[in-house]
Amino acid sequence: STAVQAAVLDFHHPALDAETVQVQTRQQQSIVLAPLVGLEPAVCQNVLLIMDCNARAYTGCVNRSDQSRSANAAAALFRLGANASHSCCPNTNYSSQNSRGSLDFRTIRSVAPGDQITISYLAELWSRPSWDRQTKLSFGCLCERCRGAEDTRGIRCRSCHSVVFPC
């Protein structure tokens, strides 16, 4: 419907004329895909970029009448999930493993009143160095972890529990 299309196109996405690899790749893909799905190429490019920026893995129930059938490699758009900010050291995790077709948020560390709720947009977050995390995101992450010392090559001291980095 027109209302659903307008709601989807209202999600955040990079500008179509941005000179990034992601935008240019999606532009080329939309030329091929647009006729197959009955959309104008620019609208198709918008949808692909919206998916890149906002879609979350969906592992919940696919059909309410058959709650035993779960999604395999599915993604969905969630308005609240799309509004959560990214951090490479998030204070919240999310899951769609429920029968309601919704996203459940759970804090994974303390959140003080007034703190921003953050999730990670990246799957393999903890093993990736900051330069690699930055290339996976469509924006420059300025979270505390990315601004700090590289923490993926360090070794934790058993005595004092601080992280020691090789020379």
Write the pLDDT tens digit of every residue in 20-59.
Answer: 888 899 999 999 999 999 999 999 999 999 888 888 877 7
The band of 61, judged by pLDDT with boundaries at 50, 70 and 90, is: low
The per-residue pLDDT for range 122-136, each reduced to its tens digit, is 777 677 777 777 777
pLDDT-derived band at 102, boundaries 50, 70, 90: confident
Mean residue pLDDT of the chain comes to 81
The contacts of residue 141 (CB under 8 Å, 6+ apart) are 86, 87, 88, 130, 133, 134
**Average pLDDT for 64-76:** 59
Q: What is the pLDDT of residue 3?
A: 87
What average pLDDT does the segment 141-160 reach?
Answer: 78
Spatial CB neighbours of 41, under 8 Å, sequence gap ≥ 6: 27, 30, 31, 34
pLDDT for the residue 165: 64
Beta strands 104-107 and 118-119, pairing class: unpaired
Alpha-carbon span 61 to 30, nearest angstrom: 29
Q: How confident is the model at residue 106 (pLDDT cuts 50, 70, 90)?
A: very high
Q: Range with the lowest mean pLDDT among 50-54, 63-67, 77-81? A: 63-67
Q: How far apart are CA 119 and CA 141, in angstroms?
A: 13
